[in-house]
């Protein structure tokens, strides 16, 4: 059943972490800091800035401490970091004064989870629960992200009941927000509507966040489908950067500027200044020296005059 569209949505910008982690060239720390500072002044209220993973796993994010120390974030902007496990959280807690939220992650499908983190789903749930409990003790807001929520390239369709069961266990462990990832762009709008209709009933009181990739060009259609069943929280990445390290061909997240442009034209408020956001994205494109996947960056904002 279609609900009235939200009048506003929350957007978490994940480009500084999710977007940059898949770039083959090392992005200088100073460039990351300058970009985060720009993004934090566009009206975005939530930014995922880095991850406390091992440097040998994702060298691009080995400068997490320096990024946190160097950035300048206005009041009212919530900073989050991704932590892969309890050890990563303990590292992050050394910089506790520099961020507000932590994100943990796992996959809904066994094969993707094993290829991504070399653990079973059950092992990851247990580990995430310990991490969430520790983060909660520190007064941090906790989100859990479930990858391959809408389909797995190795196992095919992932049952909604399995995803909801995982989400329920993570919520019991302390996650107040669950992000559902279309990790390799396999979702379609009907599936998204059906999925969130079930999830909203099964997870009362939990903030449900949609994390769509545009691998097959369906990302914004899936956003509309989620809006139509009342979802008002989304994750996106500037320039359509990002993607899943496994498998090959899993391209980037929906572009934040495309998301903002679409919903603002629909009368849904994001609080984001699109021109300031595009200026920040142009900085990234110049640094990378290549065109990005963003449509709004190419076409510009809609001018009705």
- Nearest-angstrom CA–CA distance, 125 and 164: 13
SS3 state of residue 272: coil
SS3 state of residue 263: helix
| 289: alpha, beta or left? (left if phi > 0; alpha if psi -120 to 50) | left
How many CB atoms lie under 10 A from the CB of residue 127? 18
**Which is catalytic among the residues 244, 254, 263, 278?**
244
142 part of the active site = no
Residue 46 parent element (H or E): strand 46-51
Q: E strands of 99-199, at which residues?
A: 101-107, 141-147, 177-182
| Stated length of the chain | 305
| 231: alpha, beta or left? (left if phi > 0; alpha if psi -120 to 50) | beta
Q: Show which residues are catalytic.
A: 244
């Amino acid at each position: 059943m279609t609900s009235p569209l939200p009048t506003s949505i929350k957007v978490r910008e994940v480009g500084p972490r999710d977007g940059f982690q898949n770039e083959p060239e090392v992005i200088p720390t100073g460039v990351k800091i300058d970009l985060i500072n720009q993004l934090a002044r566009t009206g975005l209220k939530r930014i995922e800035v880095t991850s406390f993973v091992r440097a040998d796993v994702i060298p691009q994010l080995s400068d997490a401490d320096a990024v946190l120390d160097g950035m300048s974030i206005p009041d009212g902007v919530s900073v989050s970091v991704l932590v892969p496990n309890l050890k990563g959280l303990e590292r992050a807690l050394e910089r506790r004064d520099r961020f507000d939220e932590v994100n943990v992650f796992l996959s809904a499908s066994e094969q993707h989870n094993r290829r991504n983190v070399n653990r079973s789903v059950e092992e990851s749930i247990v580990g995430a629960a310990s991490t969430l409990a520790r983060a909660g003790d520190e007064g941090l807001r906790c989100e859990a992200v479930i990858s391959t929520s809408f389909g797995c390239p190795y196992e095919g369709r992932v049952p909604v009941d399995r995803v909801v069961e995982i989400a329920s266990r993570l919520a019991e462990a302390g996650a107040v927000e669950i992000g559902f990832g279309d990790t390799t762009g396999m979702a379609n709008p009907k599936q998204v509507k059906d999925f969130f209709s079930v999830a909203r009933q099964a997870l009362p009181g939990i903030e449900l966040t949609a994390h769509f990739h545009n691998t097959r060009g369906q990302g914004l259609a899936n956003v509309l489908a989620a809006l139509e069943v009342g979802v008002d929280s989304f994750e996106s990445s500037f320039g359509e950067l990002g993607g899943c390290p496994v498998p090959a061909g899993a391209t980037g997240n929906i572009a934040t500027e495309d998301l903002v442009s679409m919903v603002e034209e629909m009368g849904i408020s994001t609080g984001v200044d699109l021109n300031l956001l595009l200026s920040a994205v142009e900085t990234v494109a110049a640094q990378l020296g290549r065109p990005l996947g963003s449509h709004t960056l190419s076409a510009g904002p809609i001018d009705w005059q």
